[in-house]
Amino acid sequence: MRRSERDRGFVTVEAAVVLPVLALFAMALLWALAASAAQIRCVDAARAGARAAARSEPSEAVAAAARAAAPEGARVAVAREGDLWRVTVESVAPGPGGLGVTLRAGAAALAEDTVGGGGAV
């Protein structure tokens, strides 16, 4: 009987050590999932902007299409490089203790005005 009483104290100490570690792990996992979801939204936003740019929409409309799909507060850059439109979306995923991560995604699309000698195919 003495031994089981002493073991009961060890179980309490082990639980007191393990529970904060499990809580920290769960918080880190949730942050990683939120950052992954924001990265996917950045990729989708860059693709939406590139599609809009390829249709020869104005730059303001391209940026608006990208911002509509991007995480809140994201920065959108639109540039034309030869026959390609490039759209870059950048967002910050805040992390615990100021350990945020900058998420970035880009997409490129061929401008429709260059396909088939200036007309849509």
**Buried/exposed 37-65: b ≥16 CB within 10 Å, e otherwise:** ebbebbbbbbbbbbbbbbbebeeeebbeb
Report which of residues 88 and 12 the model is more confident about: 88
Distance between CA 64 and CA 76 in Å, rounded?
Answer: 9
pLDDT tens, 47-73?
Answer: 999 999 999 899 899 999 999 999 999
Q: What is the mean pLDDT of the chain?
A: 85
User: Is the pLDDT at 120 greater than 80, yes or no?
Assistant: no
| Partners of 75 in the β-ladder | 90
Q: State both tokens at 62.
A: 């391209």
Supply the pTM of this predicted model: 0.74
